[in-house]
Amino acid sequence: MPKLKEEQNEYIAVIHHNSNLLEYFCLGILSKNEVKIVFGILEIIHNRYPKENVTIPYSDIAAISEYATELYENNTNNQFERFIESIQTKLKIVSYKLFIRPFIFDYPIFELFMVDHTAQFLSVYISESVYQDEMMDDDRNIVREEKRIVDLFSKEDWSGIQVYQKQKKDT
């Protein structure tokens, strides 16, 4: 694991718990400002679902946090544009983790990114990867539906999702 800077920690966003299943987004190693932006972008995508390609104007990203708003308004020496490029790099490692004892399955959330500084937008393409296969009984009735990464954004209520600093395990 890479050494963390003092102001950086590893964050997760817990989707829900039940007795046999733990699901969450692994947001990666972020500063407090970055975690607000990354999770804010995930919420924007959720609000604009069912589009697999979501274009987010820089002004929407800037509105997520006071830090980003200040960078956007000042944009001295293209600081906001460099900040967006940094966030794009952080988004590349955001993944969906599914724990099914004794295994952890890891699925990247995004397939592709596009940054356009001239038009001032960030486009993200959500993965179509299947994380739960369809299961049928002997009579060909669907017992369990197929689920894709993009389906995670269709969950109607995201109010229960919380962002937590991942606890370090003692070794």
> In 3D, which of 20, 19, 6, 13 has the Cα closest to residue 40?
13
96-117: burial string, b at 16+ Cβ within 10 Å, e else: bbbeeeeeeeeeebbeeeeeee
DSSP letter string, 104-135: EEEEESEEEEEEETTTTEEEEEE---EEE--E
- Tell me the β-bridge partners of 22: 17, 99
Of residues 116 and 152, more confidence is placed in: 116
pLDDT of residue 19: 43
Phi, psi of 70 (to 5 degrees): -60, -45
Q: Which amino acid is at 166?
A: K
Task: Mention every residue, 6+ apart, whose C-beta is less than 8 A from residue 71.
Answer: 62, 79, 80, 83
Confidence of residue 6 (pLDDT cuts 50, 70, 90): low
Residue 18 above 50 pLDDT? no
Pick the range with the lowest mean pLDDT from 5-14, 61-70, 88-97, 136-145. 5-14
Look up residue 113 and give its two tokens: 């990114």
- Supply the pTM of this predicted model: 0.78
Confidence of residue 61 (pLDDT cuts 50, 70, 90): very high
- pLDDT tens, position by position, 26-45: 888 888 888 888 988 888 88
